[in-house]
């Protein structure tokens, strides 16, 4: 029995190695796979046959001959497995069918009705039905439905307990989907899903310990430890936006004062700008914003900052410094190999945001970390991070056996792109 289990693990690892190589280096011949994977020709031949039958790879013609018969080339088939991703947002909810490369094959978006929880749930069900109908021609390969939602979930990841941004409490999301669909359903907080998305299909590939930090109207963190989302004892880890960075700071909705979210998220930047404009500060922001101070948006502040306007820069940098202090604390606490910065506000601030965060973190983090590898890198999936993240809630279970055990070689790869110095 134990011997069988052992053989099964080895087989899965070998299949994983082959699939990774075909995915990364395809089109590739069996002979080249023997060379790159160091597996025996028989093992490669038997396992490739299995991958062909599963539809995960396909033979796509012949390559150059090195004498003798022209070799048959193999290619990874990302559309052989699909997932429905649902990214719930305040302004827009996106539903898509995605493939194993994180590409959306069909996408649909709508504005959610947040005034009535029943309508909110019924809309999700209706739009999901619609997209499943449209995707019938894609074959029976949909592995499940993954949902990325703002807010706090119960430990079983079935109900939204509370979301301040959606303004909803106790929403039975899992039951609503389960009643209507026979597919497996996976639900998680959107920042956790985003972290997993970056880990499997974005900037965090091959990195086993990373933290995705999102800055929008609020701030959140998705923590990946040893390739898994770190949920904590009750599933609510990652409430980075409610860590205190200023004891006497502004009051937060949570009842505390000086939470990172109120000190550094987008509304904090806008409020500082409103203050400066209201006292008539001399700033280039007024070149790009002609309305009343209260109607300011992020864009004119960013434009002025990119033209080196000192007022705009100090508004943005004050907020980014709070963020960086929080990130330095995360690095000291969790020792991640990478911090991935995302969310619409940081996207808009790019590259000013990441540059300031890197330099402030360097000053704030324990000096010991200066000798070590940690990178602060931008999100690779950008505005698609939540929908791709939603799909990876489903794909992660399937990809697990593809991504079995990160190798030492992979760890060196991470060292190779050290960014902070």
Chain residues binding Zn ion by CB under 5 A are 242, 252, 254, 256, 259
Cross-strand partners of 223 = 211
Q: Phi and psi of 224, rounded to 5°?
A: -110, 120
Judged by beta carbon, residue 254 or residue 405, the one nearer Zn ion is 254
DSSP state of 107: E
Judged by beta carbon, residue 109 or residue 256, the one nearer Zn ion is 256
Q: Kindly state the smallest distance separating residue 242's Cβ from Zn ion, in Å.
A: 4
Judged by beta carbon, residue 135 or residue 256, the one nearer Zn ion is 256
List Cβ<8 Å contacts ≥24 apart for 355-359.
356/316, 356/317, 356/320, 356/321, 356/324, 357/320, 357/323, 357/324, 357/327, 358/419, 358/420
* Cβ neighbours of 383 (radius 10 Å): 12
- Beta-strand pair 185-189/142-149: parallel
CA dihedral 171, 177, 179, 182 (to 10 degrees): -160
Q: Kindly state the smallest distance separating residue 256's Cβ from Zn ion, in Å.
A: 5
Judged by beta carbon, residue 100 or residue 252, the one nearer Zn ion is 252
Please give the Cα distance from 67 to 84 (Å, whole number). 46
Q: Kindly state the smallest distance separating residue 252's Cβ from Zn ion, in Å.
A: 3
Q: Kindly state the smallest distance separating residue 254's Cβ from Zn ion, in Å.
A: 3
Are 367 and 400 in contact by the 8 Å Cβ rule? The answer is no
Task: State CA 175 to chain mean position distance.
Answer: 25
Judged by beta carbon, residue 52 or residue 90, the one nearer Zn ion is 90
Spell out the alpha helix ranges (H) of 181-223. 190-201
Q: Kindly state the smallest distance separating residue 387's Cβ from Zn ion, in Å.
A: 27
Judged by beta carbon, residue 259 or residue 377, the one nearer Zn ion is 259
Please give the Cα distance from 48 to 268 (Å, whole number). 55
* Cβ neighbours of 1 (radius 10 Å): 5
Q: Kindly state the smallest distance separating residue 257's Cβ from Zn ion, in Å.
A: 8
Q: Kindly state the smallest distance separating residue 279's Cβ from Zn ion, in Å.
A: 28
The label of the residue with tokens 């360097």 reads 362
Judged by beta carbon, residue 112 or residue 218, the one nearer Zn ion is 218
């Amino acid at each position: 029995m134990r011997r069988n289990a052992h053989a099964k693990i080895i087989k899965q690892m070998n299949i994983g190695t082959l699939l990774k190589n075909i995915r990364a280096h395809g089109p590739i011949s069996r002979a080249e796979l023997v060379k790159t994977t160091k597996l025996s020709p028989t093992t490669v031949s038997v396992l490739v046959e299995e991958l062909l039958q599963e539809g995960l790879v396909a033979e796509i013609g012949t390559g150059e001959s090195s004498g003798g018969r022209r070799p048959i080339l193999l290619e990874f088939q990302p559309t052989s497995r699909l997932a429905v991703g649902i990214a719930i947002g305040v302004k827009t909810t996106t539903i898509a069918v995605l493939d194993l490369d994180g590409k959306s094959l069909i996408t649909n978006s709508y504005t959610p009705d947040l005034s009535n929880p029943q309508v909110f749930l019924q809309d999700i069900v209706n739009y999901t039905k619609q997209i499943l109908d449209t995707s019938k021609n894609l074959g029976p390969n949909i592995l499940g439905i993954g949902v990325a939602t703002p807010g706090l979930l119960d430990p079983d990841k079935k109900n939204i307990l509370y979301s301040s941004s959606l303004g909803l409490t106790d929403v039975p999301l899992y039951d609503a989907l389960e009643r209507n669909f026979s597919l497996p359903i996976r639900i998680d907080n959107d920042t956790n899903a985003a972290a997993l998305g970056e880990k499997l299909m974005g900037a965090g590939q091959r990195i086993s310990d990373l933290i995705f930090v999102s800055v929008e109207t609020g701030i959140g963190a998705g923590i990946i430890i040893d390739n898994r989302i770190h949920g904590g004892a009750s599933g609510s880890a990652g409430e980075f936006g409610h860590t205190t960075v200023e004891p006497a700071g502004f009051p937060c909705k949570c009842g505390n004062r000086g939470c990172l979210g109120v000190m550094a998220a987008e509304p904090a930047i806008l409020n500082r700008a409103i203050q400066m404009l209201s006292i008539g500060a001399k700033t280039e922001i007024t070149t790009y914003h002609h309305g009343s101070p209260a109607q300011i948006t992020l864009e004119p502040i960013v434009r002025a900052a990119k033209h080196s306007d000192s007022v705009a820069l100090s508004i943005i940098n004050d907020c980014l410094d709070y963020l960086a202090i929080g990130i330095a604390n995360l690095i000291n606490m969790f020792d991640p190999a990478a911090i991935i910065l995302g969310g619409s506000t940081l996207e808009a601030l790019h590259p000013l945001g990441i540059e300031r965060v890197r330099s402030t973190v360097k000053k704030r983090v324990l000096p010991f970390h200066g000798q070590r590898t940690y990178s602060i890198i931008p999100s690779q999936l950008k505005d698609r991070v939540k929908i791709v993240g939603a799909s990876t809630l489903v794909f992660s279970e399937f990809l697990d056996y593809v991504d079995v055990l990160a190798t030492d070689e992979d760890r060196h790869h991470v060292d190779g792109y050290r960014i902070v110095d």
